[in-house]
A and B are shown apart, each in its own frame.
Chain A
Amino acid sequence: MATSNKKNVLDLSFSLITAVASLSIIFIIVGIFWILVRESAPAIHKFGFIDFLISTEWNPVKELFGAAANISGTFMTTALALLFAVPTAIGIAIFVTEVAPNFLKGPVGIAIELLAAIPSIIYGMWGLFTLAPIMSRHIEPFLQKTLGKLPVLEVLFRGTPLGIDILTASVILAIMIIPFTASIARDSFNLTPAVVKESAYALGATQWEVVKNIVLPYSKLGVFGGIVLSLGRALGETMAVAFVLGNNHKIATSFLDAAATITVTLANEFTEADSDIYLSSLYYLALVLFVMSFIALAIAKLMLIRAERKYSR
Chain B
Amino acid sequence: MKKAAALVLAVLMSTLAVTVHAEETLNGAGATFPAPVYSAWAYEYNKVTGTKLNYQSIGSGGGIRQITERTVDFGASDAPLASEKLAKDNLLQFPAVIGGVVLVVNVPGIKAGELKLDSDAVCKIYLGEIKTWNDAKIKSMNPKASLPASDITVVHRSDGSGTTAIFTDYLSGICPAWKEKVGSGTAVSWPAGIGGKGNEGVANYVKQQSNSIGYVEFAYAKQNNMAYTLLKNAAGIFVAPSFASFEDAAATGDFDPKKDFYLWLNNAKGKKSWPIAGATFILLAKDKKDSNMKTVKFYDWAFKNGANKAKELIYVPLPKSLQDKIRTYWKANGIL
Q: How far is the CA of A274 from the CA of B160 in the complex (A)?
A: 7
Could you mark each residue 25-38 of chain A with 1 if its beta carbon is under 8 Å from any beta carbon of chain B, else 0?
A: 00000000000000
| Residue contact B153 to A61, C-beta cutoff 8 Å | no
Looking at the assembled complex, report how far the CB atom of B161 sits from the nearest CB atom of chain A, in whole angstroms.
8
Q: Is the CB of A258 within 8 A of B194?
A: yes
Across the interface, do A247 and B158 meet the contact criterion of CB distance under 8 Å? yes
In the assembled complex, which residues on chain A have CB atoms less than 8 Å from the CB atom of B195?
246-248, 258, 268
Known: A164-B209, A248-B193. A61 touches B188 (CB 8 A): yes
Q: State whether A61 and B65 are in contact (beta carbons under 8 Å apart), knowing that A268-B159, A271-B58, A273-B160 are contacts in the complex.
A: no
Is B188's CB under 8 angstroms from A247's CB? Answer: no
* A272 touching B193 in the complex, CB below 8 Å, given contacts A59-B188, A61-B182, A160-B151: no
Residues on B with C-beta less than 8 A from A42 are: none
| Chain B interface helix/strand/loop/mixed | loop
Q: Is the CB of B194 within 8 A of A272?
A: no
B58 touches A248 (CB 8 A): no
Chain B 160-202 interface mask (CB, 8 Å, partner A; 1/0) = 1100000000000000000000111111111001111100000
A112 CA to B135 CA in the complex, in Å?
A: 50
Q: B78 CB to closest chain A CB, in angstroms?
A: 12
Size category, A interface: 20 to 34
Q: Does the CB pair B61–A274 fall under 8 Å?
A: yes
Q: Is the CB of B65 within 8 A of A273?
A: yes
Residues on A with beta carbons closer than 8 Å to the beta carbon of B188 = 59-61
- Asked if A269 is an interface residue, CB under 8 A from chain B, the answer is yes
Confirm or deny: A186 has a beta carbon within 8 angstroms of a beta carbon on chain B: no
Does A272 contact B183, Cβ atoms closer than 8 Å?
A: no
Is A235 in contact with chain B by the CB < 8 A criterion? no
The answer to whether the Cβ of B25 comes within 8 Å of any Cβ in the partner chain is no
Q: Which residues of B contact A274 (CB under 8 A)?
A: 60-61, 64-65, 160, 186-187
Q: Interface size on B (CB < 8 Å)?
A: 34
B59 contacts partner chain A, Cβ-Cβ < 8 Å: yes
How long is the Cα–Cα vector from A136 to B60 in the complex, in angstroms? 32
In this complex, what residue of A is CB-closest to B212?
Answer: A162
Give the distance in Å from the alpha carbon of A133 to the alpha carbon of B183 in the complex: 34
The docked-state distance in angstroms from the alpha carbon of A248 to that of B189 is 9
A60-B186, A61-B188, A247-B158 known; A271+B193 contact, CB < 8 A: no
Known: A57-B189, A246-B194, A258-B194. A269 touches B160 (CB 8 A): yes
Cβ-defined partner of A60 (8 Å) among B66, B153, B160, B193: B160
Q: Which residue of A lies closest to B168 (CB)?
A: A61
Q: A246-B194, A248-B195, A258-B194 are in contact. Are A272 and B189 (CB under 8 A)?
A: no
Known: A249-B189, A279-B65. A61 touches B194 (CB 8 A): no
Shortest C-beta distance, A161 to chain B (Å), equals 10
Inter-chain pairs besides A61-B189, A272-B58, 6 sampled, C-beta below 8 Å: A61-B183, A160-B211, A247-B195, A247-B196, A272-B159, A274-B60
The 7 closest A-B pairs by CB, nearest first: A247-B195, A246-B194, A247-B158, A272-B62, A272-B160, A272-B61, A60-B187
**CB within 8 Å of A: which residues of B?**
29, 58-62, 64-66, 150-151, 153, 158-161, 182-190, 193-197, 205, 208-209, 211
